[in-house]
Amino acid sequence: MLRNDRVMQISLIELVSLLGYSGKLSRQTVPLRSRAPAKLALSLVPVTETAEAIQRLARGVRRRWGGRVIAVTGSTGKTTTKEMIAALLGARLKVLKSPGNLNNDYGLPLALLKLEPPDQAAVVELAMSRPGEIARLARVAGPEIGVVTNVAPVHLQFFGSLTEIASAKQELIENLAPPSTAILNFDDSRVQAFREGFSGQAVTFGMGEGADFRAVEITRATPAGTRFRLIARALDGEFYLPLPGLHNIQNALAALAAASLFNIPRKELQAALGGFANLPQRSEILTLLDGVTLINDCYNSNPLAMERMLETLAAWGAVRRIVVAGEMLELGPSSPEWHRKVGRKAAQSRVDWLLGVQGDAQHLLDGAFEAGLPAERLRFFPSAAAAAEFLAALVRPGDVVLVKGSRGVHLEKVVEFVKSQEKSEARSQKKPLPILTPDS
């Protein structure tokens, strides 16, 4: 059994058997043998600590496989960047990527255990909530290429400052295997500083002049897509990204920088990026039958990510802009001020209605009111369910709604409720209402 304060009693028998391995690990061999299928019982292997054992097993599989590993970390955008890198490399190579966000002491080893000889590259994600975690994960994955998207106020419950968060992220660069390449955000001064003392190759990406992979001439091509010209050695050219927001262009630049190390032709990268499909609940655009556009970004949230999505919403053509903002968790004692700061940003981002959900989201409303958003356009709800009912009654054709909050707020319930209301109304009508785009 794997145990910790977040993952309680997950059966390693079930997890590892799904991967097709004959040897199973257990801290409680005798009890588990009595409960395991007969075929598995005789192959259980007693170990002192299952988490450490599965990491050692994964490290051995990775070393035996011997291919190139790209590891991605950062406060925001790491999952999307990991998915983009895998999509770009997949234009020419057989790539293993860590599923979803399997990025911790348990998920990363399980992802690496799926490596097969035909795989030509692996792309994994490394997360952390405490110092030392990324270093430990890097020693398991053994990446030669490390990507750091940014450093932002996340997990402040466990860190005293942004400087401490930056040090934790730098653990990836410090533990790269030779020949090592660090791909760093040029626009983030803390990340750019990781070049100092790094003996390997450093490649930067960003919007600022001087970045090795730089985006210029950025234009909104569609309501949910962006065009930009890439300036980068032999890859200069125009690219289309079917995701909104400058933050996603930064993710794309990081991915293109990583893909450039595998000598994939520009045309193949352009096609792969243009056809990229992100995971659900990450900048997911839903156009409902009554002309309401939902930006479903409810997978997680933190101050930087929220501000970037507010900037994206501000640039969106809409009758009204409505934000359903869930509490941003794990911000520690400074949480109220971070929420007020984001609330002020919302008021400055052409938001017409701000709905705060759960806990410290009340401080979002306080900040927005201080910055000029009228009190009658602010609402606080203790739960996602309550916010969903209000939103369903509020929206009208031409509205664009951003839904974003930490996982613990469960704002997916808002999206599902509004979608279910749409289906109910559609069934009661003889013909559907016309579909409107945000620019209609």
Mean pLDDT of 205-232: 94
pTM attached to this predicted model: 0.87
CA distance 50 to 291: 51
In this model, does residue 189 exceed pLDDT 50? yes
How many CB atoms are located within 10 Å of the residue 405 CB?
28
Classify burial at 378, counting beta carbons within 10 Å of its beta carbon; exposed 0-12, middle 13-18, buried 19 or more.
buried
Give the per-residue pLDDT at 51.
83
The fourth-level CATH superfamily of domain 284-428 is Mur ligase, C-terminal domain (3.90.190.20)
**Torsion, CA 81, CA 85, CA 90, CA 94, rounded to 10:** -110
Task: Show me where the domains of the chain are located.
Answer: 12-48, 52-274, 284-428
Mean pLDDT of 267-274: 98
Whether residue 308 contacts residue 250, with contact meaning beta carbons closer than 8 Å, is answered with no
Give the per-residue pLDDT at 439.
39
Give the per-residue pLDDT at 49.
79
**Torsion, CA 246, CA 248, CA 252, CA 258, rounded to 10:** 110
Q: Which CATH code of 3.20.20.70, 3.40.1190.10, 3.10.105.10, 3.40.50.300 fits the domain covering 52-274?
A: 3.40.1190.10
In this model, does residue 24 exceed pLDDT 70? no
167: Cα separation from own chain's centroid: 20
Of 218-232, 333-347, 389-403, the range with the lowest mean pLDDT is 218-232
Which pLDDT band holds residue 265 (cuts at 50, 70, 90)?
very high
Give the per-residue pLDDT at 3.
44
Which pLDDT band holds residue 33 (cuts at 50, 70, 90)?
low
Give the per-residue pLDDT at 430.
37
CA distance 317 to 278: 22
H or E, element range at 278: none
Report pLDDT digits (tens) over 318-374. 999 999 999 999 999 999 999 999 999 999 999 999 999 999 999 999 999 999 999
